[in-house]
Amino acid sequence: MLKRMLLLLSCLSLLGGARPAEAQQRQVTGVVTGANQAPLAGAAVTISGTRRGTVTDAQGRFSLSLPGGDASLTVGLLGYTSRTVAVPASQSTVNVQLQQDILNLEGLVVTGQATAVARQNLPQSVAVVTAQELQRAPAQTVEKALQGKIAGANISQNSGAPGGGVQIQLRGVSSISGNADPLFVVDGVIVSNSAVASGQNAVSQASRNINFSTQDQLVNRIADLNPNDIESIEVLKGASAAAIYGSKASNGVIIITTKKGRAGPAQFNFEQRMGYYEIANKLGARTWTRDAAIEAFGLTAAEADQYFNPDGSQRVYFDNEEAVFGRRAPSTETVLSISGGSQNTRYYVSGSLLDHEGIADNTGYGKQSLQLNLSQSFSDRVQLSVNTNVVHSVAARGLTGNDNNGVSYYAVLAFTPSFFDLRARNPDGTFVRNPYERSNPVQTAALSTNDEDVWRAVSAANLSIDLFRNDQQSLRFVGIGGLDYFNQRNELYYPRELQFEPNDDGLPGTAVLGVSNNLNLNTTLNLVHSWTPGSFTATTSAGAQYEDRDLEVDRTVGRNIASGIRIPSQAANVTSEGFRQRSRDLGLYFQEELLLLNDRLNLTGSVRADRSSLNADPDKYYLFPKAAASFRFDEPMSWLNDLKLRVAYGESGNLPTYGQSFTPALGGTNLEGVVGTRVNGPVGDPDLRPERTRELEGGFDAVFLNGNARFEFTAYNKQVRDFIISPPLAPSSGFGAYTFNGGELENNGIEMMLEATPLRTDRFNWITRTTFARNRSEVKDLAGLTSYNPGNHFGNDFGGYRVQVGESPTAMWGFHLLGDGTRQEQIFGDADPDFRMGFSNDFTFGGFILSSLLDWQKGGLIANLTRNYYDEIFNTEDFTGCNTADTCSALERLEQFHAGESVYIEDASYVKLRELSVAYDLPSSLFGRLGGDRVRNMRLTLSGRNLITWTEYTGLDPEVSNFGNRPVGRNQDVTPFPPSRSFWLGLQVGF
């Protein structure tokens, strides 16, 4: 280490000094091309074994001074396989053709705050998703575009409502009551993935006596990003890879890089898509007989005669699900981008307009975004890049999910018989009153609104300065700064004309206005020293990272409001509430990376020290180390081109959530006419600190079939210690729960990925990818407790959760009815799946491209409360068989439940056709006549998303989660927004 430091000081002493002239120099020129001899701009051309080099211009040309004798050049470009070519002393020109790196074997992967390494030398398992993989079929949000593409990622949609609400879980449960989401980093800036409740609870009362609820079908804010502007996504799943982000990274890190411009003439890309959404699955309803309807609903003979034929059969079957969710309105997407520039100035500008209409009235998702990325080289030593993204989105999500007032769509459909037509109108044009429930969902959908309007700006600046550089060494300063700001405005309106207004409060008409403002500020300062004396490279980096997060939420609820007035403050009864959450974090790190033995051996080690205002002691630093190694065997067998063995250990953390480390003081308390404050809720331990994840992973990567196939295998052991638990306290204590570090759980799993090009010719190409992941979790310790109730479920009668030593934290508990009639509480299985697999294929034949993606989840459990809603009124579709039989399975199911059996715990296995697309590249002979030489390419695409689901699950969708993004307590199906499939026709033109 001392020798290393002296060498670094020696380098600094040469700062600003001139490089000694070579004794003999010669000038070499050349051209770098790709397929069909097309010039490649921006390719790096370096003298092998040194750091000297240049990049190609817009025509792929370069000029470089070489030593007088024989030499060699290494040529590389992202997306292409690098080549090393010999340049004899007598040669003055060299032309190099690069082949496309189809399997991304040499793509750069982030290893530090300001460092990266080629994927083939990476000592950890990091998933990489390219722009092409993201954009096969249009997706409203980034998370939906990632489903089924990452081994070790459980990505599930909380409901089918437009505009987001997706949870990403990497390598199992890393927390019980803490943050469950990965850390998202966009162009070096840590961005918010907050999910702020809309205020729907004001009418649904899913959570009694509060307006902020986790059951409001929340939208997580990462949904704001535009998938069309993303160049690549790197998923750091393990603690070793994620340790560079310290106390924020135990749930993994997702690094998003947006598209950049390349030197060359301006290129315009225009794409227009048109399509529509339709409901993908319906529950159906019972077809009734006269006698059964009279018995179930207490109809009089005259009332029954309205609905039934003389023989007692139902006169008409009304598909009320179709009445609410049968809309197939046209949806559109328009995308325009411009990129290009010179060697010193490069730009990428894009704009998009998205208008996705929902399957119910007053639902849908709209987004307008503008992306500007600018890179400027002030000299060969100073570069600055600035990335700015402004997004405006509106998610209209209807009224679905759990409710205790009989107002959400499926909560009403469940109790409405199919012989009653909810679409019928009175003579005056008003909606008919539903005599079987307290609301008419067709009327509710038509007259009410639940809109979430968001403006967001994410800006990042990256300044790189070469402080010192010669043939063997360089010292570089990298400064990254940025901000992430969003304003979220929730406007909900339920007019007094609705059947369920007035609510139980006797105040007809409800309006809700919620305003949320969030600002994340990031600053990262780095020094990176690289030393390449010959056969190895040493990269040392150190730096500091500061983050300031500030979220403020205010909500006003107005009740008893005049028709057409949507402003809550104009109501007769007005209440308001809100909160503010602010935190500040500081992290310091040091990292060393060694590439030895001609880049075959990689050794990496680092340590990060973090402090945060979210900890009980905001001044205390917590250390998070990592170490990793990999070794590559070059062609160990005739059929095996490359074999890499790797092992990695790392530690990362998960900060306490805001408010866990202290007891909140609530203002606005009226004490005999005097304003006061009070404390309640949780009380935090005086030593509350970050949860800590320790993970050891090992595996291998094999490249075979002459570089046409790659197999990756990883096994890991992830131990989470000091995880935060919040067992309830006795009411006499004055507090609801005590929050402290005291738990330990363990995850063990394996991940596999195979990608290959089994067949590749001049006319035909086949790329296939298969992923597999399996994880098992177990609670090891609860600091003296044997178990506790984590909340976020509806009890073991339906399928509940209990955190218990020796069991999985996501085990689903229920009651089994014994032969003697007594009930036995037991584990029915695990809510998390046994394994997940993804299968993607891309076939190219001539100008045609066929792409598909299958997503398979085996196992897992879900509590189907929606089916219980239908069962309780004998309205489930399979009760139709009870019309003519004395006994039927549906009736037996309900009788079993009433006797104490947890019959609504169901298998959540499924196979989904996530994506299917067919594209055709029109020949130049055709589009040349349309646009002449100005048109580079033209493509027609027909695509679909979530087209088919194969499952035994009897609910709407086995992915749903009533409680949103929760580490424990998911898989609760309570009258959600149904899933939808989409179909798209697109035209893409490049100029």
Identity of the highest mean pLDDT range in 556-570, 858-872, 965-979:
858-872
pLDDT tens profile 530-578: 998 877 899 999 999 999 999 999 999 999 999 888 999 999 999 988 8
CB 180 within 8 A of CB 167: yes
Cβ neighbours around 101 below 10 Å, total: 18
**Token pair 């009418």: residue:** 203
Residue 1 pLDDT exceeds 50: no
pLDDT for position 668: 56
CB 472 within 8 A of CB 50: yes
Peptide bond into 728 cis (omega under 30): no
Measured distance between the N- and C-terminal CA atoms of the chain, rounded to whole angstroms? 55
CB 37 within 8 A of CB 30: no
Residue 20 pLDDT exceeds 50: no
CB 924 within 8 A of CB 932: no
Mean pLDDT of 440-468: 95
pLDDT tens profile 460-494: 999 999 999 888 899 999 999 999 999 999 999 99
- Tell me whether strands 709-725 and 737-760 are parallel, antiparallel or unpaired: antiparallel
Q: In terms of Cα–Cα distance, which of 582, 554, 667 is closest to 197?
A: 554
Using pLDDT thresholds of 50, 70 and 90, give the confidence band for residue 841: very high
Residue 926 pLDDT exceeds 80: no
Helix 889-899 with 865-872: angle, nearest 10 deg: 110
Mean pLDDT of 492-499: 94
Residue 458 pLDDT exceeds 70: yes
DSSP string, 880-920: GGGGS-S--HHHHHHHHHHHT--TTEEE--EEEEEEEEEEE
pLDDT tens profile 509-518: 999 999 999 9
pLDDT for position 19: 42
pLDDT tens profile 215-224: 878 888 999 9
Peptide bond into 502 cis (omega under 30): yes
- Tell me whether strands 764-781 and 737-760 are parallel, antiparallel or unpaired: antiparallel
Q: Which two tokens stand for residue 857?
A: 């989840």
What whole-number percentage of the chain has pLDDT above 90?
A: 63
d(C-alpha 866, C-alpha 971), whole Å: 12
Residues linked to residue 788 through DSSP beta bridges, in sequence order? 803
pLDDT for position 22: 42
pTM for this prediction: 0.91
d(C-alpha 69, C-alpha 178), whole Å: 63
Using CB atoms within 10 A of its CB, is residue 907 exposed (0-12), middle (13-18) or buried (19+)?
A: middle
CB 983 within 8 A of CB 944: yes
- Residue 826's H or E segment, with its range, is strand 823-830
pLDDT for position 410: 96
Residue 397 pLDDT exceeds 90: yes
Mean pLDDT of 181-210: 88
Name which of 513-527, 673-687, 852-866 the model is least confident about.
Answer: 673-687
pLDDT for position 967: 84
Residue 830 pLDDT exceeds 60: yes
pLDDT for position 71: 85
Identity of the highest mean pLDDT range in 104-118, 701-715, 886-900:
701-715
769 to each of 104, 213, 712, 753, 899, how far by Cα in Å? Answer: 13, 40, 11, 7, 48
- Residue 63's H or E segment, with its range, is strand 61-67
CB 811 within 8 A of CB 801: yes
pLDDT tens profile 160-185: 899 878 889 999 999 988 888 999 99
Q: Using CA atoms of 491, 502, 561, 555 in order, give the dihedral in degrees to the nearest 10.
A: -40
pLDDT for position 293: 94
pLDDT for position 932: 61
pLDDT tens profile 569-595: 999 999 988 888 999 999 999 999 999
DSSP string, 611-650: EETTSSSTT--EEEEEEEEEEEEEEEETTEEEEEEEEEEE
- Tell me whether strands 972-973 and 861-864 are parallel, antiparallel or unpaired: parallel
d(C-alpha 541, C-alpha 536), whole Å: 17
Vertex 903: Cα angle to 901 and 906 (nearest 5): 145
- Tell me whether strands 800-801 and 764-781 are parallel, antiparallel or unpaired: unpaired
d(C-alpha 585, C-alpha 921), whole Å: 50
Using CB atoms within 10 A of its CB, is residue 160 exposed (0-12), middle (13-18) or buried (19+)?
A: buried
Residue 5 pLDDT exceeds 60: no
Residue 3 pLDDT exceeds 60: no
State the chain's mean pLDDT as an integer: 89
Residue 47 pLDDT exceeds 80: yes
pLDDT tens profile 612-645: 999 999 999 999 999 999 999 988 898 899 999 9
Higher-confidence residue of 163 and 692: namely 692
pLDDT for position 13: 39
pLDDT for position 667: 56
Name which of 21-30, 83-92, 145-154, 257-266 the model is least confident about.
Answer: 21-30
Higher-confidence residue of 300 and 3: namely 300
Using pLDDT thresholds of 50, 70 and 90, give the confidence band for residue 18: very low
Residues linked to residue 938 through DSSP beta bridges, in sequence order? 989
Name which of 13-17, 437-441, 801-805, 861-865 the model is least confident about.
Answer: 13-17
Query: Which stretches of 131-260 are assigned E, i.e. beta strand?
Result: 153-157, 166-170, 183-186, 189-191, 230-236, 253-258
pLDDT for position 98: 87
Mean pLDDT of 861-887: 90
